[in-house]
Structure 1
Amino acid sequence: MRRRLLSGASALLAASILASCGSAEPPQPAPDEVPETAPPALDSARLSTILEEIGESLDAADAELDPELLGDRVIGPARETRTREYRLVEASDGEVEPTAIDTTASLAATGISEDWPRNAMVITEIPEEENLPLLLTLTQDDVHSPYALWGFTTLFPGVEYPAMARPEVGSPSVAADAGDLVATPEEVLERYAHVVADPDSEFASDFADDPYLELAVRDQVEDLQEAAGESATVGTLARKLNVDPRSVETADGGAIVVGQFRWVLSVDRTDEPGDLELSGIFDYLADDTSVTFQMQAVFDTTMAFHVPAADAEDSAIVPLGASDVLVEVRRDDGEDADDAAQG
């Protein structure tokens, strides 16, 4: 018997919740002028200029599928994600497209801080031919660097984005180890990764329900398991990546937290006889998709959360949006899978 497993509800292809771009010459942005003391906020004109230059960088790089053209206006998880999206465009012969990013702001919250990094959160207009806006996270790493796109996430349908602490002058940035929240920003990503890996995790009750976990993770595992029958077991591994999250305070004393984690979709053969072959996302980055021992798809996900204050009446952490990218497909003919999420 030969089974061909489809991975149609993958995080990469879950169009129902997740999000393609254009052309232009690469821009040559100069570092933004920064006063010696922290300004209350980016004014609208300066923010618009920054977003325009980020958009020009994206257009230039998208036209050539060349991450070098992103320049210094796209950094961190956003740059890594875009680079991997370009590889997938080529590997899939255009079947996969880069996430559509409109850099026109419909709502913005700029962080106020005397230290770096300095952060800003921008909800965009809905990209052309899409139906959901994005949350863009901008960061200025130091006095000599320009503000740059650090991360992007597609907001979930119907999500209620919390009010910022001081919209007229800016919202304070929140440290990765801030202790006045129900969980520090670092802990939020660590706990969510636990939940992705284990539906029965002790941290599952910390989070409100969200479509990413349901559609991109849980449903995919169930669909693959049903297709494999007794020929394989399907499961997930996950961990927080070694990237400090970016956060700004909200009016309720909580915070918007944006960070990144890695998760692995693993298909492990059992002793049941018969051929087992994978398709869908596995086809893009694997020459041989037959499973003799184990096949894994590795994803990096950038996710945004609303994290309540430590004394909030409702302590549920609310996932706001997510964007992910397929990092690699691994074929293992006998090694232990326990370290798969560490690569």
Structure 2
Amino acid sequence: MNKRWNKLCVAALACVALVVPLTACEGRLPTPAADTSTKVAPDLTEAQEKKIRLKILKTIDEADQAKNPDGYAAVMGGPQLDIRISQTTINQRGGGMSKYATIPKDIAQTVIPLDDGWPRSVFTITTTTEDQQSKRLLVFDQESAQQNYKLMAMARLFEGAKLPKFEIPTIGSQMGTAKDEKLVATPVDALTQYADVLQNGSKSQYASKFADDLLRQELANTTAKVQEGMQRNNGTQEQKFTVVPEQMWVMRAADGAGDLVVGRINGEWTRKAGDGRESQPASDDEKALFNSDKYTSTMKVTYVNVVALYIPLASSGEQITAVGADRQPVKVEAL
């Protein structure tokens, strides 16, 4: 009896020994991980972009109608503020408002950033103007959560210009930085090199990195015409172009195909007349800004240039392409 009882006890203990490990393992069985991913979407919607943009354009229109240069600062900044003040000053002095100042209210595309934080930029491409001028590339920027968006830059797109593809607004695009890598050149280097090409033309060491474009063609033609007159009286001219790194905005193309950078390049055009002659304005806009008949042998004109460059990947074998620009004299001095 005792032997039989002992055997039953051993068997029972063995069963318990088997059950305990199984029970312990049951608490460590792998379970599907909870899906912690959340849908990422831009903070700004298309409807909000439209509301912001139309409010800014309304304020600009009101200042235009009043011919009031002081009316722009609340909704404009960067190179576009300087350009608009110059255009309105010329209008005040009887030169009329430049047709290039027109900003259509309808748009073809808006590129909304996915990035959190500030500063935050929106790139918007308008339709053509009523008189069939080219589309405008607008750059709106919000410096902080406490500040409103402002129109910082505008480039008139060149005819036939091909912009990179961007993500749809509901997905959002990534803003780039001045030092984005794996491109033909970083955005800040591309602007600096382009400024050198503007200044030195085909003699620039960077000329081969850039496709030909309308801004360079028009600048070369204007310079050549002025040079004809300068040579007749032994005069000289010189142009210097300088990038303003803190006034640069970058958006990355879809699928990492490159960057679109919009930036400011200041220009100084100094013309010296020879043979005791006077140096005078080279355009109606320069004449209106100078607003005087007291000429000297030397005239210096300060220009603001806005350029939009598409910078492809270094591995693409493609050149950097200027897809749009704006150029405006903002100051004329007799030295």
> In the alignment, residue 223 of structure 2 is paired with which amino acid?
V
Q: Distance in 2 between matches of 1:119 and 1:322?
A: 18
Question: 1:156 corresponds to which residue?
Answer: 158
C-alpha separation in 2, matches of 1:253 and 1:276: 47
Q: Deviations for 1:9-36, whole angstroms, at most 9, x for unmatched residues?
A: xxxxxxxxxxxxxxxxxxxxxxxxxxxx
Larger radius of gyration: 2
- 1:312 Cα deviation (Å)? 2.2
Q: Does 1:298 align with 2:305?
A: no
- 1:261 aligned to which of 246, 261, 265: 265
- Structure 2 partner of 1:25: none
Query: Residues 1-343 of structure 1: matches in 2 within 5 Å?
Result: 39-40=41-42, 42-70=44-72, 72-94=74-96, 96=98, 99-165=101-167, 168-199=170-201, 200-215=203-218, 217-231=219-233, 232-251=235-254, 252-270=256-274, 272=275, 277-281=280-284, 282-286=286-290, 287-288=292-293, 290-292=295-297, 294-314=298-318, 316-332=319-335
Contact 1:228 1:276 survives alignment (8 Å): no
Matches of 2:332 and 2:157 in 1, distance apart? Answer: 27
The residue number in structure 1 matching 2:26 is none
* Structure 2 CA distance for partners of 1:245 and 1:313, relative to 1, 3 Å: same
Deviation at 1:125, TM superposition (A): 1.4
Residue 290 of structure 1 and its aligned partner are, at CA, apart by: 4.5
Give how far 1:185 is off: 1.6
Question: Which residues of structure 1 form unaligned runs of 5+?
Answer: 1-36, 333-343
Q: What is the Cα deviation at residue 212 of structure 1?
A: 0.7
Q: CA RMSD in A?
A: 2.3
In the alignment, is the contact (CA less than 8 A) between 1:153 and 1:323 conserved in 2? yes
Question: Aligned AA for 1:106?
Answer: A
Deviations 1:160-182 (A, max 9, x none): 12111565511100012222322
User: Under a length normalisation based on structure 1, what TM-score does the superposition of the two structures give?
Assistant: 0.78
CA gap of 1:198–1:71, structure 2 versus 1, over 3 A, is closer
Q: For the residues of structure 2 that align with 1:279 and 1:194, how far apart are their CA atoms?
A: 23
Structure with greater contact order relative to length (CA < 8 Å, sep ≥ 6): 1
TM-aligned CA deviation for residue 275 of structure 1:
6.0
- Number of residue equivalences: 292
8 Å CA contact retained: 1:186, 1:244: no
What letter matches 1:112 in structure 2? L
Q: Alpha-carbon deviation of 1:187?
A: 1.5
SS in 2 for 1:187: helix
Q: Give distance in 2, aligned partners of 1:126 and 1:63.
A: 22
Q: Distance in 1 between matches of 2:188 and 2:40?
A: 25
Give ranges in structure 2 of 5+ residues lacking alignment. Answer: 1-38
Does the C-alpha gap of structure 1 residues 275 and 64 become closer, same or farther in structure 2, counting only changes over 3 Å?
A: closer
More helix by share: 2
